[in-house]
Structure 1
């Protein structure tokens, strides 16, 4: 024991002495030279601090360390590349990265090489490794060399970064693939990979063999099956094809955006964009649908597209590895809880799975009856399931893979799963089918099925005529039929929206009103589908929104594509790829996400949209809920006002209207709690939004100190001190020439926030001021009454009985 201990101690001592003979990399360096090494907590940091190279472990696997490149300016640790993904290190302090014989080599804790750039270049003392701001680790012969000996961009792991390439090397006959991690804690190679084919299309494969998704062929601008690329995509893609290689690479149109593609453990290729305001990676799109991923749930697993988790085991089976399933790694599938006994067929039973997408690799068997098909399976010891219908008899030998639970849309078929008879409890008896009873029950089932179809068709004829009225009139809206006559928007069936959204697969967001899902119409139009909750309120807001926005047309108002009222209140809008404004403007302690010119454009467009609502419709429209989450941004960061659920229509002869106090605390005008309101309440809300855009601060922020948590209080204080620009977050990030414009914007906001509504400008006036045609009123006051903190602070709010009418508009500007 003592000899082993002394040997271990001596080895560690020699390693430490050896390491100390190498120069230590200075803090913040981006380079390893031939006489330097990297070990322990030492890191390389790219010149601008964008990426960092070092030794990292995963939270769920703290004993294994990997040499990896991570995003250095992203608060959530995100690994972009790993050198030793299949050979982890157990002690990062004893491992070392250094240049040996012209190669970058990683030695583990036993000083055994476990990874190398493995190039045949001649050894040179001038070889260096440099980490670039693009995340590329480059080995080259000398600091000034432009020709890399080796680069990490040629050997991606699961992440595709801007500037790197995924393609095919014609000389080495090798593919540059993206390969998923094994699971969320294990970066070793998983089962899913993305690769480029000679046909200029990307495919995703399982285990290197089964292809289950394609991007479609590149047509010079987009991939055929990626409609997300059609409208002002944030990337520039380019295809290179020469005698040495063929590949795609991409760059960001706006280099300030942090974005990446990953081959995820889910078997999907995903585009992700970092949002500093939320501290999360935002999913832009993913392909394919989860249940279309080959063998995602493993053997004897079922996939259900509309539930979480997606995977479950078949009846009579349980996960092969519960630990892997808890990490969302379902590839191991499920195993039988009770084994089958071959030869004893008298009490064998099958468990019925109606309405499913059948597994792969079936065998066709000649059989004229369900009983005969069942017998064919029963007489084969390796048969695990059968199916019999108008398509004939199919049986499955061995493992069942890719079994999908289908929606009730008539597309599914019935599978009979073979189980040990002992697994059928009383609760399962209705599902179990005793072989001897199969033939006798078929006739009864057919007869009952025929009766059901006749009854269903008769009811369907009646329901089809009243499906809109019946679903919402039941909620107490007897005048719905009259209201619907005034709506010119296209009405969609619930089934059409199920198809368009792929069973409401991709949730874009939501709140107290409900959820929003992404969809694509048959003509390729991308849409956002808003599903409203809270029945009574939902119907009121549904009618208000359809009747209001369904009749207006302006570039800076989100376009209503249609609606559905069959089962739920559903609204279809044009899809806005950059989401809501609040995700882009709040940047505490961070550089602003959007440049000043883009912010000015957004402010101008919000003002134009409100001016249209207030002054260019035959009936004025008061929005009543202007705030950053209700300002949506398209691919070019054009602003469009959305969410008209609280809006009110006011005849031009009426200057004000009574309402129940509603809206969002912090954006509600002071007069809303105790008097009739006018279009000036929207002007007040616009003032708050304008202030938030310019300053990068939330108007109410409980995470800040007491003196600065309320933006209006802070502005009052700084106005008295003649230091208004102090309220701008990270002011030093802006060029001096912008600061005068920013100060002017703050004064416009203050004008909109005047306590007396009559002293606030019209939105058309604000537009003219923003365009430089008019000046800000010089007599504005900075003594503000704070916005209503809560609707509960109003003792006697007025209740409006105003009936909503569809507005008739002038031509859009």
Structure 2
């Protein structure tokens, strides 16, 4: 295919501006063979520096004139860290040129969340694995393709990095792992996402945005719960074929193919200027999807594929609670909300006084007229104000919408949208508020009003006289006690009761003052939401768990009612403090709590598939998990523990990891629950001394010294992994005596090199994947090392599970500890209030 006159002139102009050509010794090819390695040493002749501070150390380069794809090491700014990336650069044959106006544009990176340092290496190994190692030898990224008949590596003209076999078939390709960009011809299919690269720390406080594809549309959304869609490319017809839906950047359009039988006929598309040079699209942290093109003046934006009539339609443009108007951010109320950053209103606002269901009498609403929440409110569910009466949309009105929100503890606002007639009215009750939008009435044919729920100051003045009266009564009883022993005893009893009552008040006030606490429910509220605690989900030594439904009529909850005093109170406070302020996809979310004198209840998200133990210990053959599900569950648990150990302000040790405390949602995503025994320690603490807590069989050997680290959780995780793979409990008295203790049995089978005998024989699918299961057993063995210092961190476990790191090769399989096994039985009788049973 020839090139146009315009393109020819462009190439000539670019070639005239070459200012750097490396020597011929650094000539690069677009392919590589096995047993090849590269080092990111900036001293190499092949490194190319750019005037914007970036630098590339090329590895593979397409041999062509003008803009082209290359891959190699990339750094920006100080060059303290590097990405292995694919980038678009100017080339003269196989040489990269450092033009002052044309900077490299990264369109894919392998390790964007785990950059490496100078002198790190990239290896295409003899067995076909493609590995990035940091300068200390740590594996930062890998394709995990060892043993898959890889013959070589190729960077295609389209910018796709491909590992191919001897038949030239693709074994692995970068197009299957998009980051924040797409290049022409690259498809984004279901199961893949574009997620912005966030370099500005100001954005990290906000939920990540993503672009994904479903059967009938591509959506840009905020990954909240539920996701908030703010833009869509949608196919409105009926899908008739079974072909995969995808979006693709073409020359002149960004197209959605959902039902089309011909590549030239997309179902939905957005026109963009035809390319005069190379183009690519990038999903940016502000929520825009921009098309960039290289020209004689460098890179320029030629289109915004998510352009909206109003800049305010992007959901994080003004942060939480900020109201966007003509691109400017303001507070909904200076009385009830405060700016997070005094100089940056776009970072949002926080509540001056957090909402409390316990003090619901002091709730009120701020009325925001001509204000709305999202341009695609149709994706939010319209609340059914009174399902028992079968009411329809036409019966909605603003007051009923407000009333529904006031009765729903999780509701943060009542959003009412209405047209000229009552039949076109909608009520939404979101439980999380991002940016609000000033509704320009000139451009729409409907009205919107937002009622933000706020917390007024409690009427504490009314309590003061009551407390003074209590003080007077105490003095009177004390005086009488001076004259009579009987009155003294009575006075002491009254004093103790008074202190107990005030201690309860102090506890309740303390919880209200802790920032970031979840919703506070009254006991009366929870009694109603659970229909008087009628549906029991489970029972244990600490109490019972009941199923309930929030006032919206659709959101199910699990309410745990704790029984007893003393340790139960400590367990309650530990759970509220540890998990109440944190959120992670692999931790069961604490929605709220109730502290009403001796009544202590915890409100969780509902997990429809229950706890992991019923799925792996084969109470019935109805509950079985296939290998892929078990792999995913193990990874989910590891990610949850990594977050607790490494990503929280204070390190959180769970201390009771076991299958009963791993819950599964409707798609078998695993989430860690039950933080009643958890321990919070400062980041600078490496060890902590504490009383023994946990469940026999899952306790690490170091508990005998009472000095523990987060590696105690790693050990418990190893036990759970072993149970998952073997389909049996770690102590099973129904087994022959030599097989009763799983860890001892595992140790013996490892010595005999017969670990495959342990694979769950109740699952045909597990038997089909024996080799993979045995490999996973090595991860468990690593986590079960007697010496806690020899166990991996949970973040290292995640890397191994994701294929970017390897298990320690020299594992010690002498992992059983008979003395600890016998001691743990004795401890159970000494400390029954600390050691945990199924909850």
Q: Which has the larger radius of gyration?
A: 1
The TM-score range, normalised by the shorter chain, is: 0.3 to 0.5
Q: TM-score, normalised by structure 2?
A: 0.38
TM-score, length of structure 1 as denominator length: 0.39
